[in-house]
């Protein structure tokens, strides 16, 4: 009998390296089926599924990245299990390129305890640590005043100066701060806003706070932050969307899609099941919606737990594993409250609302035309 697998899914996700994900993605089915039990779990946990909402977020991030603007803050927002970390790893990090010696993207976890000063010094140390800086506790800053170099003492000022230099020298294009709500919770709001503006100005590209729907309130609380920020919201799939897609597919109007969006994700993960006996999860979409609320990250965790149960049962599937792998009723209710509150906030803040209606855009297209210059025209004046 194989040794039972007992593992934290959160720790497992964090432990899988980018190189391992690439290696797993190149494996054939026979190679996957021959993996030892623990590696099968790692293989499944490493999977990144392309889907509609992920692609929408990817297109939006590419727009922010490639469009000239004054925006220096891009919030990555979504409820628990919406795939924020996966979005950073599969979209943000690969899309942002840098030269050798640079750190195009950095992700640091926010401190979950302390007061304003310890939270600020903690996040500065985290940034330097993730960037592989040395002798962090000895960091001092140096400023030039009236032609003289002035050494800044060790402490918060020295750390701040060291981070500023590192961000600019390494040309960091995205500085992501995960679980950003910890900083909001333990900080004076005005001081935090000043710190966020300063960090954003020091990055070569964007500061990316990552957190739940409550983060949108911080990003829109103050005009100085609001005018510098944009947001990417990773939402859920709903039964209504799924049923509408199913109707279109039945009528032959589904385009290139073969299945409704959330069922398609389930089928993709099911196709990668690293066992001989494959549970047919796609036959119970209603139940899966009930226990995942249409969140891709929650779906992935659910199926990974199912896999562990099957492996620990010598590879034999039992339908009870599905119920055992779901979160408690109270936890799911709490999560749904968070989701619905976030969706209400998004609506109140008019997130995703275009500036112009379709009709207005049609009017603009007729008004805003080009006129080709003729050789007989005089050169436009240099002063207006």
CATH number at residue 115: 3.40.50.300
Please say if the pLDDT value at position 265 is more than 80: yes
Where does the pLDDT of residue 121 fall: very low under 50, low under 70, confident under 90, or very high at 90 and above? confident
Parent domain of 60: 53-233
For residue 364, being part of any structural domain is answered with no
Domain co-membership, 136 together with 262: no
In contact, 306 and 317? CB cutoff 8 Å: no
Please say if the pLDDT value at position 381 is more than 90: no
For residue 175, being part of any structural domain is answered with yes
Domain co-membership, 81 together with 215: yes
Q: How many CB atoms lie within 10 A of CB 356?
A: 10
In contact, 270 and 278? CB cutoff 8 Å: yes
Helices 239-250/261-271 angle, 10° precision: 90
Q: Cα angle vertex 42, ends 334, 78, to 5°?
A: 30
Q: How far apart are CA 204 and CA 198, in angstroms?
A: 12
Q: How far apart are the first and last CA of the chain?
A: 84
For residue 188, being part of any structural domain is answered with yes
Domain co-membership, 306 together with 198: no
Q: How far apart are CA 250 and CA 234, in angstroms?
A: 28
For residue 381, being part of any structural domain is answered with no
- Whose CA is closest to 240, among 248, 231, 232? 248
For residue 374, being part of any structural domain is answered with no
Among the ranges given (124-138, 139-153, 209-223, 312-326), the one the predictor scored with the smallest mean pLDDT: 139-153
Most confident stretch, 6-20, 25-39, 220-234: 25-39
Show which of 233, 264, 279 is a domain's final residue: 233
Domain co-membership, 120 together with 219: yes
Burial of 282 (0-12, 13-18, 19+ CB in 10 A): middle
Tokens of 120: 């600020």
Q: How far apart are CA 176 and CA 330, in angstroms?
A: 31
Show which of 199, 233, 267 is a domain's final residue: 233
Domain co-membership, 214 together with 297: no
Q: Round the average pLDDT of the chain to a whole number and report it.
A: 84
pLDDT at 2: 60
For residue 353, being part of any structural domain is answered with no
Q: How far apart are CA 105 and CA 84, in angstroms?
A: 15
Pairing of strands 229-233, 105-109: unpaired
Show which of 173, 202, 233 is a domain's final residue: 233
Tokens of 377: 């025209």
For residue 295, being part of any structural domain is answered with yes
Domain co-membership, 64 together with 181: yes
Burial of 329 (0-12, 13-18, 19+ CB in 10 A): exposed
Domain co-membership, 147 together with 280: no
Domain co-membership, 59 together with 173: yes
Burial of 232 (0-12, 13-18, 19+ CB in 10 A): buried
Residues 6+ apart with CB under 8 A from 360: none
Most confident stretch, 12-16, 102-106, 208-212: 208-212
Q: How far apart are CA 227 and CA 355, in angstroms?
A: 15
Strand order of the sheet with strand 105-109? 105-109, 174-178, 206-211, 73-77, 229-233
Domain co-membership, 206 together with 151: yes
How does pLDDT run across 279-337, given as a tens digit for each residue?
Answer: 999 999 999 999 999 999 999 999 999 999 999 999 999 999 999 999 999 999 999 99
How many structural domains are present in the chain? 2
How does pLDDT run across 63-93, given as a tens digit for each residue?
Answer: 988 887 778 889 999 988 888 988 998 899 8
Number of helices followed by number of strands (H, E) in the chain: 20, 7
Domain co-membership, 223 together with 241: no
Domain co-membership, 158 together with 273: no
Q: Cα angle vertex 46, ends 238, 205, to 5°?
A: 80
Domain co-membership, 119 together with 261: no
pLDDT at 1: 47
For residue 367, being part of any structural domain is answered with no
Residues 6+ apart with CB under 8 A from 198: 160
Measured CA to CA in angstroms, residue 344 lies from 213, 231, 260, 347 at distances of 10, 16, 25, 5
């Amino acid at each position: 009998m194989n040794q039972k697998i007992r593992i934290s899914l959160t720790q497992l996700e964090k432990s899988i390296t980018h190189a391992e994900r690439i290696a797993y993605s190149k494996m054939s089915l026979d190679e996957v089926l021959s993996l030892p039990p623990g590696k099968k779990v790692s293989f499944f946990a490493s999977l990144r599924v392309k889907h509609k909402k992920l692609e929408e977020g990817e297109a939006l991030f590419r727009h922010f990245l490639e469009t000239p603007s004054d925006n220096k803050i891009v919030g990555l927002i979504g409820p628990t299990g919406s795939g924020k970390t996966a979005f950073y790893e599969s979209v943000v990090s690969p899309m942002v390129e840098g030269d050798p010696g640079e750190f195009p993207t950095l992700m640091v976890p926010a401190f979950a305890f302390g007061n304003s000063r310890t939270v600020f010094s903690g996040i500065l140390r985290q940034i330097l640590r993730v960037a592989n800086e040395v002798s962090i506790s000895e960091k001092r800053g140096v400023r030039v005043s009236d032609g003289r170099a002035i050494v800044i003492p060790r402490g918060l000022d020295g750390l701040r100066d060291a981070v500023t230099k590192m961000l600019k020298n390494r040309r960091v294009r995205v500085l992501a701060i995960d679980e950003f709500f910890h900083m909001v919770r333990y900080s004076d709001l005005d001081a935090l806003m000043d710190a966020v503006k300063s960090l954003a100005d020091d990055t070569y590209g964007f500061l990316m706070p990552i957190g739940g729907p409550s983060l949108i309130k911080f990003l829109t609380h103050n005009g100085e932050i609001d005018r510098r920020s944009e947001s990417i919201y990773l939402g859920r799939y709903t039964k209504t969307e799924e049923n509408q897609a199913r109707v279109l597919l039945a009528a032959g109007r589904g385009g290139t899609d073969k299945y409704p969006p959330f069922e398609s994700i389930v089928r993709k993960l099911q196709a990668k099941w690293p066992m001989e006996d494959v549970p047919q999860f796609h036959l119970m979409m209603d139940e899966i919606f009930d226990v995942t609320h249409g969140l891709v990250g929650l779906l992935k965790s659910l199926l990974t737990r199912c896999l562990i149960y099957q492996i620990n049962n010598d590879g034999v599937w039992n339908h009870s594993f599905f119920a055992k792998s779901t979160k408690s009723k109270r936890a799911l209710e709490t999560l749904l409250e968070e989701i619905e509150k976030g969706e209400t906030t998004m609506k109140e803040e008019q997130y995703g609302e275009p500036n112009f209606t379709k009709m207005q855009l049609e009017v603009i297209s007729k008004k805003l035309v080009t006129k080709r210059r003729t050789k007989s025209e005089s050169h436009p004046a240099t002063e207006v």
